[in-house]
């Protein structure tokens, strides 16, 4: 009888010392958590990688939002300067902009050209862009597209009523611009390497849904 009891105690002690199924030897659960919780320590799910379709959608939204901010800034510049011209006062600010005569706003909604050359407007730095747009027109300037490539932004501050004034573009998934001159047309929405281009209130290259 004594030997039988000793055997039971030995087996019970061994069971308490051995790890449970799937539980690494020596691992213990944090206080207040059930045994087995230690199996999930360090195994938190990583953020899900966005699909190319989601990255493309984000890029189009970024470009539209930034484009809206740029166009609103342009409209205010033209309206302010038009009012100053009507009163015979010179435009305010340290920079001189060529603007239309009083009462001639930018032609929003005008039919775009069949082709567009992005180099018709100069590049603008992120710092200048932030000075113009934050916080009145946009809270944060989107800097990179859905695939991590920096947006290229151009703004012709020397001639706000030039043939082309502003543009934004993304090189798409491959990170390389295919051209500097684009035909104004949609592209295959599943060809994620296509450049995406916005200019003067319009998308020049955009994912065209069939």
Query: Could you give phi then psi for residue 83, rounded to 5 degrees?
Result: -65, -40
Residues forming beta bridges with residue 206, ordered by sequence position: 186
Place 36 in a pLDDT band, splitting at 50, 70 and 90. low
- End-to-end CA, the chain: 85
Query: Could you give phi then psi for residue 131, rounded to 5 degrees?
Result: -60, -40
* The model's pTM: 0.68
Question: What residue has token string 């000793």?
Answer: 6
Instruction: Tell me the mean pLDDT in the region 117-124.
Output: 96
Place 47 in a pLDDT band, splitting at 50, 70 and 90. confident
Place 11 in a pLDDT band, splitting at 50, 70 and 90. low
CA nearest 167: which of 70, 48, 39, 55? 70
**Mean pLDDT for the chain overall:** 79
pLDDT score, position 45: 72
pLDDT score, position 98: 36
Tens digits of per-residue pLDDT, 179-196?
Answer: 999 999 999 999 999 999
Place 80 in a pLDDT band, splitting at 50, 70 and 90. confident
What b-and-e string marks burial along 12-48, b requiring 16 or more CB atoms within 10 Å of the CB?
Answer: eeeeeeeeeeebeeeeeeeeeeeeeebeeeeeeeeee
CB 60 within 8 A of CB 206: yes
Place 43 in a pLDDT band, splitting at 50, 70 and 90. low
């Amino acid at each position: 009888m004594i030997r039988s009891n000793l055997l039971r105690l030995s087996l019970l002690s061994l069971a308490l010392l051995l790890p449970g199924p799937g539980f690494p030897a020596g691992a213990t659960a944090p206080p207040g958590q059930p045994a087995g919780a230690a199996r999930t320590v360090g195994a938190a799910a990583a953020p899900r990688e966005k699909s190319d379709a989601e990255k493309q959608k984000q890029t189009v939204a970024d470009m539209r939002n930034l484009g809206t901010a740029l166009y609103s800034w342009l409209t205010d510049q033209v309206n302010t300067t038009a009012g100053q011209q009507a009163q015979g006062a010179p435009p305010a600010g340290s920079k001189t902009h060529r603007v239309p005569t009083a009462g001639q706003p930018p032609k929003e909604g005008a039919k775009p050209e069949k082709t567009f050359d992005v180099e018709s407007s100069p590049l603008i730095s992120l710092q200048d862009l932030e000075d113009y747009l934050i916080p009145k027109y946009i809270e944060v300037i989107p800097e990179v597209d859905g695939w991590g490539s920096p947006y290229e932004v151009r703004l012709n501050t020397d001639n706000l009523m030039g043939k082309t004034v502003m543009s934004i573009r993304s090189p798409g998934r491959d990170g390389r611009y295919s051209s500097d001159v684009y035909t104004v047309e949609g592209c295959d929405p599943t060809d994620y390497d296509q450049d995406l281009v916005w200019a003067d209130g319009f998308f020049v290259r955009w994912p065209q849904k069939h």
